Structure 1
Amino acid sequence: MTALGTVFRPQFPPELLRPMAETAEATGLDQLWVWEDCFSESGVAAAAAALAWTERLPVGIGLLPVPLRNVALAGMEVATLHRLFPDRVILGVGHGVQGWMGQAGARVSSPMTLLREYLDALRALLRGEEVTVDGRYVKLDRVRLDWPPSTPVKVYAGGQGPKTLRLTAEAADGTLLVADQSIDATREIRKFIDHEIIASLHVATGPDALERLRRTDPENGVAGDAETVAAAVRELVGAGADTVILQPTGDEPDPVGFVRFVTEQVRPLVP
């Protein structure tokens, strides 16, 4: 069965996370995702809170910008979450928006090199290995987590350029696609990625749905009722997506209601 999720967007105030997470749990949402956009909510802090407020709900973090987070610290944080909430944490990492990385004083000259070094080191740390590496950006000296995850952890990576996506195909356990990818682009990406693909889809519903959607993305996404949205999800799945995350607009007037729309109206229409 195709997994469906939605996003607590960074345009939403932090205090809205709890009712969204509790509604997601109560209605049976497959996944709830939080973002780490600069300079909004922390992805790790938000995920920890959502996990603590729920008992079943898987929570995804997408994406942790690797220039901002030392890989040893990221390993400690992720391992802690996995020990506290086994098999409920979905981790995604990526380049980060380069303008934001520059604002934070963290921009690197070769984001591709950093992401590859980071993925190799982080996955090894989460396997419980002692890691020594002297890379261009990632440097560790006999680092081993005292409390590694008790079960295997998948590390997903995301991006949108062809070079980045080929890197995720080689170095990550799964790939996260941005919502700006078209159906045709997703189909082409599936040709060279043989692991799990999590795709995102801009979605708006309600009386002013099309207007709000076009303010978000003038080309991609879907506006309409549950059947219209479900048809778009089925099309993405047909193009190669394993999981589809329905992404509300940043000005969605009722984020908690959007969660109910996904679980109660769209979910029954998606195999």
Structure 2
Amino acid sequence: MIRIGFMFDRDRPPSELTGYAALLESLGADDLWVVEDLGWAGAIASTAFALAATERLRVGIGIAPVALRNPALLAMELAMLERSAPGRLVAGVGHGVPEWMAQVGASTPRKLALLEETIVAVRGLLEGSPVTLHGREVTIDGVKLVHPPAAVPPIVTGVVQPKSLELSGRVADGTIIAEGHGPSAIDDARGHIERGVAAGSRPAHELIVFAFLRVDDDPAHAASVTREAIAGQAAWLGVPPSSVFGLTGPASELPARIAELEAAGASTVVLRPLGPDPDAQTRAALAAMTSRS
């Protein structure tokens, strides 16, 4: 059965994170996902607080840019999180927004090499093995974690372009599809991912779809609330706003829209509530999904 998660939006005050995590757990959600965008909040600290505030909820990092994270340090942080809350962590990594990476002097022309080598190095360290890797972007020379976790958490990527999607299928445990991608775009992305899966050796691959959420019976009000976010995502994706997929409308329509994503191959859908009332949006969405089942 499809997993239903929610994003803790980057614009929410960090002080609301633990309360939102507890709310999701009390309502029966499967996942909470945190983000790491330049200037907002750090994903490792956010994940630690969310895991500490809950007992069952899975917490995903969506995503940590590998250009900002030394693989050894990232593995040390992930090992601590996984040991503290076994089986409840999903480690999401990605290239990072090019403009933001340039702002902090972390740009590289070899983005694919950096992502792949980071995943390989981090996974090896989390397995408890001594790791030596002299790659094009990553250097690890005989490093071994003293406290590796009992099991390696899933390492997933948040990527968009075909070559990155294929890389994800080959070396990662899952792929995050960004907000705005509807069933046809997901199907197209799956084609690239599955080529990578066929060439790799990972045992399974989770397809995680992020989606905008606005439960609202008034179409005009829903459009006004979501307009800015959808316009921004459209610009980032290079598509017109009308092409941006979102779960916007009456609660009764929500199960069918999520079913569309599931039919396209999504195994997890992460809803990003838009508007000034994310907790109420969350309650309404989960109530609609519960009524369906």
The alignment's TM-score, normalised by the length of structure 2, stands at: 0.88
Separation in 2, partners of 1:247, 1:229? 13
Partner residue of 2:224? 211
Contact 1:125 1:144 in 2 (8 A): yes
Contact 1:210 1:224 in 2 (8 A): no
The answer to whether structure 1 residue 231 and structure 2 residue 244 are counterparts is no
Per-residue deviation, 1:247: 1.3
**Over the residues paired in the alignment, what is the CA RMSD in angstroms?**
1.4
The answer to whether structure 1 residue 117 and structure 2 residue 140 are counterparts is no
* Count of matched residue positions in the alignment of Structure 1 and Structure 2: 268
Contact 2:215 2:285 in 1 (8 A): no
- 2:32 aligns to what SS in structure 1? strand
Separation in 2, partners of 1:75, 1:268? 41
Separation in 2, partners of 1:15, 1:221? 27
Partner residue of 1:63? 63
Of the three residues 241, 256, 261, the one matched with 2:279 is 256
- 1:199 aligns to what SS in structure 2? strand
Separation in 2, partners of 1:146, 1:259? 40
Instruction: Tell me which of the two structures has the higher relative contact order, counting C-alpha pairs closer than 8 angstroms and 6 or more residues apart.
Output: 1
- 1:90 aligns to what SS in structure 2? strand
Partner residue of 1:197? 207
Letter in 1 for 2:250: D
Letter in 2 for 1:203: L
Unaligned runs of 5+ in 1: none
Greater helix content? 2
Q: 5 Å matches for 1:16-27?
A: 16-27=16-27
Q: 5 Å matches for 1:37-48?
A: 37-48=37-48
Per-residue deviation, 1:152: 3.2
Separation in 1, partners of 2:249, 2:76? 42
Contact 1:20 1:255 in 2 (8 A): no
Contact 2:5 2:270 in 1 (8 A): yes
Q: 5 Å matches for 1:233-248?
A: 233-248=258-273
Identity %: 39
Contact 1:213 1:221 in 2 (8 A): no
Deviations 1:50-105 (A, max 9, x none): 11111111111110100001000000000000000111111100001111111111
Partner residue of 1:147? 147
Contact 2:254 2:285 in 1 (8 A): no
Per-residue deviation, 1:153: 2.0
Deviating above 4 A after TM superposition, structure 1's stretches of 4 or more consecutive aligned residues are: none
- 2:62 aligns to what SS in structure 1? strand
Unaligned runs of 5+ in 2: 198-204, 231-240
Separation in 1, partners of 2:143, 2:39? 30
Separation in 2, partners of 1:267, 1:155? 29
Deviations 1:206-248 (A, max 9, x none): 3522222232222321211222222111001001111111112
